[in-house]
Structure 1
Amino acid sequence: MGLFSGSTDSDGDSDSEKNPRSFLEERGFVASAIIIGAVLICLVVWFLARGSGNNPTAGASQSPSTVAPTEQPTEVGPTGPPATPIDTPTATRTAPPPPNSHTGGCHDKTPDQGIPRIAAPPAVTWQYEAEMLVPLQAASGPATTGTDGVRSCFAHSPTGAVFAAMVLLGQVQNSAVSVAALNQRVLAGPGKALALAAAKEDARTPPTDPGSVQFSGFKVLYYPQNATQAIVQIACNLNNKAFGAIQVTMQWYRGDWYAVLQDDGTFNGTVEPDILSSLDGYVRFSGSS
């Protein structure tokens, strides 16, 4: 299973540099749970279940799928060729925050509400989820790691929303927690049901070549004061061949951030993901050395 995928054509490997979809498909990043349209790339997110009693539900007042933000940002597509990443990911040696804390993440009643626009969040530890590095921070979260490995409890802040989105996307790369993370960290709705069905099917036939996707940066597109909804754009290094980015909607619900899927089981719906010509405008943020 993976974050990004696309369809190949009859030209095979020779088109990998001209057509990002061919490259992403050959790497085996098949987003079976959350297929993001017939466009450049697809990004999938799954998450594992602890039981129906813990299942978050997107009600009429909580679901961003039905209530759009009043200041929806407009992204300008890249005009140049895709950027070529060169970093090699490595896990940081910084001591990680405790897996369970009663002070950070969602327990912080007065988190910093500043939107990170230039500098990366400080004091961050990067840990592997399967082959993908995810960020951990004592202040923003995750402050809780369940016995099943699912990470939760993020600060009610712009940075907390970013960490929640990135950790969630990273956990879908870990087959040991992917279905549980989908159940626990995505709001209920038609899209979630479709994603779960696809995730379970994908788990029965895992790809033989998982490829490599690593985070490269982010930008906060939408976060009003005291937000209950956040929209973040996450940029990834795609097998050191290109940068791809996708928009993720997060909802503050019962004391934590949860991802919201569209009714078709995708993050973006009709909004196309981007193949980036550069990381200009993004906060550079990765576990790469």
Structure 2
Amino acid sequence: MTDQETSPEATSPYGRGFVAACLVLGAILLCGGALVVTDLATSPGTPAAGSDAAGAEPGDGRADATGWPADPADGRADDPAAQGDSGTADPGSTGVNAARPASPDPAASDPASANSSGAGDPGRSACGLADGDQVVPTEAPAVDGWEVSRRVVVPRSAAHGPAEVDPDGFRRCFAHSPTGALFAAYNAVAAVGDQRQAVPTAGKLMLPGPDTDSLLRELRKQRPSSSRDEATQLAGFRILDATRDRVTVLLALPVQSEYMSANLTLVWHRGDWRVVPPRPGRPFGAPFAQHRDLDDFVTWRGI
């Protein structure tokens, strides 16, 4: 399997407007098919045009008005807990720890595990969920059921989350474990599935910092796109990297007769999993890749 990086400015026929329209994964659910079919070679694992092979730049933790409690640590430019640089995850690699770290020794240079959840017990769930098993999932986790949230089929578990659902449908509070992060990643796709709620959703979902602030400013300029009427679902996953407080997962989304993969990195922050935001002007979930089948993934879907 070969990976060939492509520059969105150099190869995408859609230009900056299309890239801006795909700032969040919900737009990819609507327009990703055209992106994959038009811009990809037929070899599996080839990153799509419009993807960004670099991780998000570090954030300084400055919180936006997201509805979450203010964090005394936010605002410190050297706060590693708000780092948005997760390194570059390689969709063509296999196994845990396949993501390339942003520094030679992430454990030494990024003490997010000590600070990312704010004051008090750094590992304590915001809603009291037990941490549970810390084994990285290599098989489909057991679920209590599958539900449709914002037209995306998502898993639900009393052990792994979500433990809370906001009045607007945003699902939050997942277990502090790799499996909890996986449940959070699936639900994150649903969270951004409704473009009409893109701004409040991004504020709740993303790790606070300047990249999230930039994303919110960009989203406020965009006119919400139409939401699809039929339900959709993810097809599978592969954990690329997992530490106590940071998990990178490759998600497979069905696109016509094939699949597109997207990368999400989640960081444990103030008692829940938050998604590392994209770099300004880049699509959420990059780098993308095309796959002919699910051989490189653990199949996990509800219907």
TM class by shorter chain equals: 0.5 to 0.7
Higher helix residue share: 2
Of 261, 277, 293 in structure 2, the residue corresponding to residue 245 of structure 1 is 261
Task: Name the Cα RMSD after superposition.
Answer: 3.7
Of 179, 184, 195 in structure 1, the residue corresponding to residue 204 of structure 2 is 184
Residue 114 (1) aligns with residue 139 (2): no
Q: Give me the whole-angstrom Cα distance separating, in 1, the residues matched to 2:268 and 2:68.
A: 19
CA pair 38-183 structure 1, distance change in 2 beyond 3 A: same
Correspondence for 2:236: 217
**1:143–1:152 Cα contact (<8 Å) kept:** yes
The more displaced of 50-59 and 156-165 is 50-59
CA displacement at 1:233 relative to structure 2: 0.8
Correspondence for 1:193: 213
SS at match of 2:204: helix
**1:217–1:286 Cα contact (<8 Å) kept:** yes
SS at match of 1:220: strand
The more displaced of 161-170 and 178-187 is 178-187
Of 170, 178, 189 in structure 2, the residue corresponding to residue 150 of structure 1 is 170
Q: How does 1:60-209 map to 2 (within 5 A)?
A: 60-66=79-85, 68=86, 74-76=90-92, 107-117=128-138, 119-175=139-195, 177-202=197-222, 204-207=223-226
Q: Give me the whole-angstrom Cα distance separating, in 2, the residues matched to 1:162 and 1:108.
A: 15
Give TM-score, length-normalised by structure 1: 0.65
SS at match of 1:247: strand
SS at match of 1:75: coil
Q: How many residues are paired up?
A: 228
Per-residue CA deviation, residues 138-158 of structure 1 (Å, 9 max, x unaligned), is 111010112232211100111
**1:218–1:282 Cα contact (<8 Å) kept:** yes
Q: Give me the whole-angstrom Cα distance separating, in 2, the residues matched to 1:250 and 1:267.
A: 16
**1:134–1:170 Cα contact (<8 Å) kept:** yes
Matched-pair identity in %: 26
CA displacement at 1:197 relative to structure 2: 2.9
Letter in 2 for 1:233: L
Correspondence for 1:236: 253
Per-residue CA deviation, residues 42-61 of structure 1 (Å, 9 max, x unaligned), is xxxxxx96537458958622
**1:58–1:188 Cα contact (<8 Å) kept:** no
Q: Give me the whole-angstrom Cα distance separating, in 1, the residues matched to 2:181 and 2:196.
A: 24
SS at match of 2:208: coil
Letter in 1 for 2:245: T
Q: Give me the whole-angstrom Cα distance separating, in 1, the residues matched to 2:226 and 2:196.
A: 14
CA pair 115-205 structure 1, distance change in 2 beyond 3 A: closer
Letter in 1 for 2:136: I
Q: Give me the whole-angstrom Cα distance separating, in 1, the residues matched to 2:75 and 2:250.
A: 21
SS at match of 1:180: helix
CA displacement at 1:124 relative to structure 2: 3.6
Q: Give me the whole-angstrom Cα distance separating, in 1, the residues matched to 2:196 and 2:34.
A: 28
**1:179–1:200 Cα contact (<8 Å) kept:** yes
CA pair 157-180 structure 1, distance change in 2 beyond 3 A: same
